[in-house]
Amino acid sequence: MAFAILSSGGDAAGMNPAIKKFVDYCAKLHIETYLIYEGLEGLIDNKIKKASHKDVAGILHLGGTIIRSSRSKRFFDFQYRKQAYENLKLYNINNLIVLGGDGSFRALEVFSTEFDMNFVGVPSTIDNDIYGTEYCLGVDTALNVIRDSLDKIRDTVASFNRAFVVEVMGRECGYLALVSAMVSGAEICVIPEAPLSQEALQKRLKQEIQEGRRYVLAIVAEGTKKTTQVYEWIEEKLGLEARVTILGHVQRGGNPTVYDRLMAFDFVINAVDYLRKNEQVKKVIVYNQGKFTFKDIQEISSQKYQLPQHYLKAINYLERP
């Protein structure tokens, strides 16, 4: 019996701590371990290497993933999935830990139904959009990167009668935008999950500007595709000079926070223990209310993540008349 780990899809800070803990913990249990480089593409191309302490020494503080990642179109083709399985059998690997998001888990769901392969998915995405878990590996670091950027932007926007529109990542999920708006004190937050109430916002902000407000900070989730619209609305309706900042992929990088490192350790230790104690495993490990549990991959892949209602109430507060 051998275990392997791979990263798939977008990188997330915390993947490297997870990889290190995987190798170190399995060594303690005398389990043979392998690193799969370049995600599902590497699985197809047999970029599989037996792991040693030297491979993971000194990586805890690094962002990204040392085993690299990929988005694989070939994995949709059965012949390449079969090739991937045959590569795993060359090394007697029958247990996989997958650091990835919903697309990666759906790919492994198909893979595990076709071939005798056990796996546990570890939610690892800065979008924090995996159904069934409050937390995904990497989101805390991403939020801290955004928070630092917003604090710096507020320094300069407060020096002028001006507005800044800041676009953050998150795909179709507004988690990063909403939480960032809450902790930065943004005046406007635009996310896919809630319509933009322009009339209420305009009434409130125009009144505040008349009463002395000198600047406005707007956070827009990329999935809304409304960054330009918000910029034009601020200039035309509020009468403020505006600037647009798109944070982009800087949000994926950075040293993993303490919280992301600790969570990486717990995710992996629980995943390894579950795999070695159970048979026919096709699960995703999730974290809710301080506890780790395992959900069937079918449940995770068939449901859509919903933002917490108490977070969504923050939008209503911003849009108060």
Tell me the catalytic residues. Answer: 127
DSSP state of 136: -
DSSP-assigned letters across all residues of 10-68: S--TTHHHHHHHHHHHHHHTT-EEEEETTHHHHHHTT-EEE--HHHHTT-TT--S-TT-
Q: How many residues in total does the chain contain?
A: 321
Residue 313: in which H helix or E strand, if any?
Answer: helix 309-318
The pairing of beta strand 162-168 with beta strand 118-123? unpaired
Residue 203: partners with Cβ closer than 8 Å, 6 or more residues away: 321
Nearest to 146 by CA among 261, 65, 14, 254: 254
User: Count of alpha carbons within 13 Å of 151, Cβ hemisphere only?
Assistant: 7
Residue linked to tokens 């079918």: 298
DSSP state of 160: S
SS3 category, 107: helix
User: Count of alpha carbons within 13 Å of 173, Cβ hemisphere only?
Assistant: 21
Please give the Cα distance from 181 to 318 (Å, whole number).
10
Cβ–Cβ < 8 Å for 13, 144? no
Please give the Cα distance from 63 to 65 (Å, whole number).
7
